[in-house]
Amino acid sequence: MKTVTILVLASVFAMLAGCSKDTSEPVQTVEWYKANKVQRAAMMTKCKSNPGELAMTPNCVNATRADSATTWGATGSGIKPIAPVTATEINKK
């Protein structure tokens, strides 16, 4: 009788475990999100609307990284080289 009860409980637990959220959304790579700006923007909007649940999901992480890479990549390093000041330039003033 004990064995039957354990088997029934295990079966019920297994059925309930199968009722989790549907995770059928395909996971896209950072490179894919870099190449697909519209989908990246849509995913970023979705992630920002529910960060408590979605912020650390693979698609949100990949879309965020792609967004950061394209933003910083478009501006280069953001630092322009500065030429050193020469004595001639100082004496002109």
Per residue in 33-86, pLDDT (tens digit) is 999 999 999 999 999 999 999 999 999 999 999 998 887 665 555 556 667 777
Q: Is residue 37 in some structural domain?
A: yes
Q: What is the pTM of this model?
A: 0.55
pLDDT at 87 over 80: no
Per residue in 18-32, pLDDT (tens digit) is 544 555 789 999 999
For the chain, how many residues are written? 93
Instruction: State how far the Cα of 51 lies from the Cα of 60, in Å rounded to an integer.
Output: 9
Structural domains of the chain, count = 1
- Residue 68: give the domain boundaries: 32-75
pLDDT of residue 13: 58
Instruction: State how far the Cα of 27 lies from the Cα of 59, in Å rounded to an integer.
Output: 6
Task: Indicate the residue type of 73.
Answer: G
pLDDT of residue 69: 86
- For the chain, the straight-line distance linking the first and the last C-alpha, in angstroms and rounded, comes to 100
Q: Is residue 90 in some structural domain?
A: no
